[in-house]
Amino acid sequence: MLSIQRVQSKWTKTNIMLKSEYLRQYMPTTKLFSRSSLQSMLSDYGMVYVKPINGMHGNGIIRVERTTVPSIGYRFQMNTKAIFSTTFDQLFKQLVKQKKKRSYLVQRGIHLLRHQKRRFDIRVMVQKNLRNEWEVTGIIGRLAHPAKIVTNYHSGGTPMAIDRLMADHSTSSELAAFKNRLRKLCISIANNLQETYPNLKELGVDIAIDAKLHPWILEVNTSPDPFIFRKLPDQSVFQKVYRYAKAYGRFKKRRSRP
């Protein structure tokens, strides 16, 4: 059995996907972190996320935005701590201090939909099925901790059924159409990355949804946590995810911790 392939670099995966005209429409502008890229993207979008190229579980992600209230300047937040800067120079120096020597990206900020005033995004699980074909096996919402900027379960986020999170934002027919769009998108991502990495077996695709119900690819994880799907009321979803993962050798050596 071929080993399961992992691709850690967000920058590498982004550049591969950008080669696809279809995928580009779903990808927020992303650049390597520098003084000029940060300044230009804040000017263009008003809010960005600065994230480590090789980070996991939302660790090290910083939300940066221009502010007018209480005064004109910049605000950035990492974990639960928010810091205000009056000038761009001051902001940049503080960010460089935070990131230390790690390589970072700057990504256009997408204003996430909210449920009970808390931001949420979507995790889509894509796996090789028993016929060795890509299949979307699970879709789950991730509701951010009220005081944090990331939605990850490991950072205090709450896994929740997408139907519940989207109830205030779409009708049942709109949600069904949106799920179909997600499936098509995520299968396309898998096929795209597989051209460069033929031994991929599973992907966890993180999707932001804007106010127009347009999906945005935030990140693609090649080592996704299958156990988040245990939190869904429908246990058959997790059972399939686990069955497929076991079949392609995910738990051959050791079982991941729930």
The model's pLDDT over 62-93, given as tens digits with 9 standing for 90+, comes to 999 999 877 899 999 987 888 999 999 999 99
Q: Residue 48 and residue 38: Cα distance in Å, rounded? A: 8
**Percentage of the chain with pLDDT > 70?**
95
> What domains are there in the chain, each with its CATH number?
30-108 (no CATH), 112-247 (3.30.470.20)
How much is the pLDDT for 42?
97
Query: For residues 229 and 132, is the Cβ–Cβ distance under 8 A?
Result: no
How much is the pLDDT for 253?
54
Q: Residue 112 and residue 43: Cα distance in Å, rounded? A: 20
How much is the pLDDT for 4?
78
Residue pLDDT, tens place only, 155-195:
678 999 999 999 999 999 999 999 999 999 999 999 999 99
Q: Residue 202 and residue 103: Cα distance in Å, rounded? A: 25
How much is the pLDDT for 68?
87
Q: Is the pLDDT of residue 58 over 90?
A: no
How much is the pLDDT for 257?
44
Arithmetic mean of pLDDT, 53-70: 85
Residue pLDDT, tens place only, 86-104:
999 999 999 999 888 889 9
Arithmetic mean of pLDDT, 117-141: 96
Q: Closest by alpha carbon to 88, among 19, 35, 132?
A: 35
Q: Is the pLDDT of residue 138 over 90?
A: yes
| Helix ranges (DSSP H) in the chain | 10-17, 21-24, 35-45, 88-99, 162-165, 172-196, 235-247
How much is the pLDDT for 81?
82
Contacts 24+ apart (CB under 8 A), 66-71: 66/42
Q: What is the DSSP string of 73-139?
A: EEEEEETTEEEEESSHHHHHHHHHHHHTT--EEEEEPP---EETTEEEEEEEEEEE-TTS-EEEEEE
Rg over CA atoms, the chain: 18
Q: Closest by alpha carbon to 242, among 253, 219, 258, 218?
A: 258
Q: Residue 130 and residue 245: Cα distance in Å, rounded? A: 10
| Amino acid at position 32, single letter | L
Q: Closest by alpha carbon to 238, among 154, 158, 140, 120?
A: 140
Query: For residues 18 and 27, is the Cβ–Cβ distance under 8 A?
Result: yes
